[in-house]
Structure 1
Amino acid sequence: MSTETIDLKTRLVTDFYAREAVMNGEAQSEFHQTKRQALGIFEDRGFPTPRNEEWKYSNVRDLISHQYQFAGEHAVTEEVIDSLRIANLTGNILYIVNGRFEEKLSTIVSPADQLQIKPLHEAIKERPELVSTYFGQLAKSESDSFTALNTAFAHDGVFIHVPAGKVVDHPVIIRFISDARAENVGSNPRNLFIVEQNAQVKIAESYRTIGEERSFTNTVTEIFVAESANVEYYKVQNEAEKAYHVGTTHVRIVDNSHFYSATVSLNGGFIRNNLNIELDGQHCEAFMYGLYFPDGKQHVDNHTLADHRKPNSYSNELYKGVLRDRSTGVFNGKIFVRQDAQKTNAYQSCKNVVLSPDATMNTKPQLEIYADDVKCSHGTTTGQLDEEALFYMRSRGISKNEAMTLLMYAFCEDVVSQIKIDAIREHLEGVITEKLTKK
């Protein structure tokens, strides 16, 4: 039977067992048994459908109706990399191409005693006790089919360890590239970031596609932030029209730690971002910012969770979207305050501007509180540009298109200004302005 007649789920399961058959003794390792268990969950559940409440507004039927070459060869050279570089961006710049860590294309400038970076498969061999302590502790295969799929095929990706007390001077920039010039490509990158007590680091993930064929990226990132540590985490997507992206980030912060994130979705056919934060300590803080710009027939879905588990923690969330043409957006944000999480302060806001009668935004803010001494709020708004402001600007001689662009940029600035890596923020300002002026 040709691979074209086999559905994607069957193809993936078949590939797993084919690889397992040539692993010899490694197939008996604890890590592989974790992967095998995850495959069983994926095999049993398959891909989600809209009957699953968490996927009610995000149908993956088109995504799974195609075949992809996973961990395939690529032809990304230094010349290709040069064409994708961001002006003035310096630091530890890593490249993951078609799901594989490319050390020859990457540059690490921070000293090893300050920052340890390895491909995941090397970390599994060289630091097995550390990896096994954290791997899969937040990203549970039982919770989601895509997480189970990623765990089953977890091999490559980025392992980052920041030792206690270290302040990483240079940001870590992880650039995921799908080379879809020759064929449909798929990847399951798995990242594990461990930031020890009193350490500080800035990490940014970016996703790009080159080529006209389809790409499917299913990435899972686990981030552990120890006591009094500080992590800034940014995620920027600027993929192609035929790109399918499912990204899941799980974070745990504990006493006096600080986690700061911004997710910007600029382009892509189907995008699903899951950001789940466990506030598992006192006096810890989490900030979550998001911005998305679907147009054409693009679909962007943001699912967030702020899970307050201990007293005296704080979370603040602001997501904004600009939708046009026949695009669709989804925001499902949940604040969960457990019974022991007294003195919690948690705030959530989602605001959207819809520029076309054919665009659709689905929002579902959720607030579940099981403690009685808390301050929490959530809310969402979806509407059009402020006609009064537009009229005022036009009465001052500003053209309609220019006035609309200025108003939309001002709307987005609340999130863009939160990105604290200057070169990335400046690059985004240019890309966003270009996208907002697109007719």
Structure 2
Amino acid sequence: MSTLTKQDTFSSLIEAAPNNFASARATGKEAYVFQGLPAVKAEEYKFTNISKKLEQNLTDFSTAKPLPLTDAQVKAAVHEGFEGSVLVFSNGQFIPGLSSKIDEVEVSLISEKADLPIGSIANPKKDVFAALNQASFQDGLFISVPKKTQVDKAILLLSFDEANEGQVIQPRVWIEVGDFAEVTFIDQTVSVGESTYFVNEVVEVKGGINSQIHYYRLQNEGKNAIEVSTIETDIQKDGRFSSVNISLSGDMVRNNLNLNLKGSNSEGNMYGIYLLNGKSHVDNHTNVDHTIPHAESNELYKGILADQSRGVFNGKIFVRQDAQKTNAFQQNNNILLSEDATVNTKPQLEIWADDVKCSHGCTVGQLDEEALFYLQTRGIDKLQAKGLLLYAFAGEVLEKIETESFREYCDSLIQERLGSKF
């Protein structure tokens, strides 16, 4: 097996990893060494030079220790109207003492599940940061929703991050949802300060037959945060996985979302908004793999970019030879509000089957001047009219959030950013 050298950026982090999950960690380490951090011309990171960003901004390549938190801090961070359960993380580590007890759901530390097949869903050979996490994560959260269980209220995964000296935060979550079960997760991070740190998150989701999983994610990190997030799920027969990702802040953010449709009549839905200003850089990489006949995927990502911000969208849909009767839709739409804002978009569709309905496309443009003029003739000032048009553009994604309190919270954040509130 390949070995690390002292020159490897994260070598000390990997060597300091716990000694559990030895086989999985060895696989992660080997995959990390084999791939190495992305080079400037690496195709998958062509428009996101995260290696340079890490080398320039991190000074301490060690694991950040958990922050001291209080019940009052947790309560203050939960959005108004939320009635579900809260699972608290501090710098990537699960904090049981500040978290809710969920009667119908098993929640424990990953370290308590010695036989858990870490990396069997989020393959470390696909991406070097998934490999890094697998090789060096400290501990993580295990969540199991039993067969036929309907979790009526959402589960909030609430993370508090603050790491001085450019340290590393590595959340690891394993979620399994039994046959005929249904659950909603909200993944939200609170940046306690404005320091520079690196978050490298991996979430593996194992969906059962006819399971219904909703996963909503709000990224509103501090302006100096660097983040790579990898979420991957296996979707079985008659199962449905729906994701909404909202990115509002951060220095450089890379989102990897991978859906594996492994059963007939399975469905994967991916929706996203990236609303960027300043010099924020957000890269959304999505992958849908159709391997079985009679499956469906829907994808819609929208970007609004101002100032010197940069957005990247790279969506891939694979329809394998046996995946006849596949329906797959993919669309990426963007509005640029500044001459200095940039978007690189690359929707991709690869089909090996011949009886399918698939489409993909992208648009990049500016606000509709006629619509803007129309609103102004109705007595709405130009700034607010602009905000209303942008909010209407984003609303098609927001309406995909089925948890009302969270949808209203995101709605408020976006309206405030866009200046569309009356």
Give the TM-score range, shorter chain. Answer: over 0.9
Are residue 119 (structure 1) and residue 109 (structure 2) matched?
Answer: yes
Are residue 37 (structure 1) and residue 27 (structure 2) matched?
Answer: yes
Post-superposition offset of 1:320:
0.4
In structure 2, C-alpha distance between the alignment counterparts of 1:76 and 1:33, rounded to whole Å: 34
Aligned residue number for residue 55 of structure 2? 64
**Cα offsets for 1:362-392 (capped at 9, x unmatched):** 0000010000000000000010001110111
SS of the residue aligned with 1:404? helix
Which residue of the other structure, out of 13, 24, 45, is the alignment partner of 1:55? 45
Which residue of the other structure, out of 98, 104, 112, is the alignment partner of 1:105? 98
SS of the residue aligned with 1:104? helix
Post-superposition offset of 1:301:
0.5
In structure 1, C-alpha distance between the alignment counterparts of 2:160 and 2:123, rounded to whole Å: 26
Which residue of the other structure, out of 45, 70, 80, is the alignment partner of 2:73? 80
Are residue 292 (structure 1) and residue 268 (structure 2) matched?
Answer: no
Gaps of 5+ in 1: 1-5, 21-26
SS of the residue aligned with 1:149? helix
Post-superposition offset of 1:73:
4.1
Aligned residue number for residue 145 of structure 1? 128
Where has structure 1 moved over 4 Å in runs of 4 or more?
Answer: none
Amino acid at match of 2:88: Y
Are residue 392 (structure 1) and residue 383 (structure 2) matched?
Answer: no
Moved more, 170-179 or 361-370: 170-179
Among the aligned pairs, what percent are the same residue?
A: 40
C-alpha distance 88-198 of structure 1, shift in aligned 2 (>3 A) = same
SS of the residue aligned with 1:81? helix
Amino acid at match of 2:138: H
Matches within 5 A, 1:133-282: 135-180=118-163, 182-282=164-264
SS of the residue aligned with 1:76? coil
Aligned residue number for residue 24 of structure 1? none
Gaps of 5+ in 2: 1-5
Aligned residue number for residue 312 of structure 2? 330
SS of the residue aligned with 2:229? strand
**Cα offsets for 1:22-74 (capped at 9, x unmatched):** xxxxx4x6x21220231132234321123110000001112233124413242
Aligned residue number for residue 3 of structure 2? none
In structure 1, C-alpha distance between the alignment counterparts of 2:230 and 2:408, rounded to whole Å: 26
Mapped contact 2:221–2:249 kept (Cα < 8 A): yes
In structure 2, C-alpha distance between the alignment counterparts of 1:343 and 1:313, rounded to whole Å: 7
In structure 2, C-alpha distance between the alignment counterparts of 1:402 and 1:344, rounded to whole Å: 42
In structure 2, C-alpha distance between the alignment counterparts of 1:324 and 1:398, rounded to whole Å: 22
Aligned residue number for residue 14 of structure 1? 12
Count of residues paired in the alignment: 412
Post-superposition offset of 1:92:
1.6
Moved more, 45-54 or 268-277: 45-54
Amino acid at match of 1:420: E
Mapped contact 2:14–2:132 kept (Cα < 8 A): no
Are residue 404 (structure 1) and residue 395 (structure 2) matched?
Answer: no
In structure 2, C-alpha distance between the alignment counterparts of 1:16 and 1:342, rounded to whole Å: 43
In structure 2, C-alpha distance between the alignment counterparts of 1:199 and 1:370, rounded to whole Å: 33
Post-superposition offset of 1:81:
2.3
SS of the residue aligned with 1:312? coil
In structure 2, C-alpha distance between the alignment counterparts of 1:170 and 1:121, rounded to whole Å: 27
Mapped contact 1:290–1:320 kept (Cα < 8 A): yes
In structure 2, C-alpha distance between the alignment counterparts of 1:282 and 1:223, rounded to whole Å: 18
Amino acid at match of 1:247: S
In structure 1, C-alpha distance between the alignment counterparts of 2:16 and 2:154, rounded to whole Å: 39
Post-superposition offset of 1:168:
1.3
In structure 1, C-alpha distance between the alignment counterparts of 2:160 and 2:396, rounded to whole Å: 28
Post-superposition offset of 1:18:
4.3
In structure 2, C-alpha distance between the alignment counterparts of 1:405 and 1:99, rounded to whole Å: 35
Mapped contact 1:13–1:43 kept (Cα < 8 A): no
In structure 1, C-alpha distance between the alignment counterparts of 2:169 and 2:126, rounded to whole Å: 20
The TM-score normalised by the length of structure 2 is 0.94
Post-superposition offset of 1:19:
5.0
Amino acid at match of 2:109: P
Moved more, 33-42 or 90-99: 33-42
In structure 2, C-alpha distance between the alignment counterparts of 1:136 and 1:15, rounded to whole Å: 18
In structure 2, C-alpha distance between the alignment counterparts of 1:378 and 1:419, rounded to whole Å: 23
Mapped contact 2:17–2:135 kept (Cα < 8 A): no
Post-superposition offset of 1:165:
1.1
In structure 2, C-alpha distance between the alignment counterparts of 1:348 and 1:361, rounded to whole Å: 17
In structure 2, C-alpha distance between the alignment counterparts of 1:400 and 1:186, rounded to whole Å: 43
Which residue of the other structure, out of 341, 352, 356, is the alignment partner of 1:374? 356
Mapped contact 1:201–1:231 kept (Cα < 8 A): yes
Aligned residue number for residue 96 of structure 1? 89
Amino acid at match of 2:266: C
Amino acid at match of 1:329: G
Moved more, 87-96 or 154-163: 154-163
Mapped contact 2:199–2:228 kept (Cα < 8 A): yes
In structure 1, C-alpha distance between the alignment counterparts of 2:112 and 2:85, rounded to whole Å: 18
In structure 2, C-alpha distance between the alignment counterparts of 1:354 and 1:158, rounded to whole Å: 39
The TM-score normalised by the length of structure 1 is 0.90
Mapped contact 1:13–1:39 kept (Cα < 8 A): no
Post-superposition offset of 1:395:
1.6
SS of the residue aligned with 1:318? strand
Mapped contact 2:148–2:179 kept (Cα < 8 A): yes
SS of the residue aligned with 2:413? helix
In structure 1, C-alpha distance between the alignment counterparts of 2:55 and 2:264, rounded to whole Å: 42
Aligned residue number for residue 318 of structure 1? 300
In structure 1, C-alpha distance between the alignment counterparts of 2:411 and 2:16, rounded to whole Å: 46
In structure 2, C-alpha distance between the alignment counterparts of 1:263 and 1:34, rounded to whole Å: 28
In structure 2, C-alpha distance between the alignment counterparts of 1:15 and 1:186, rounded to whole Å: 9
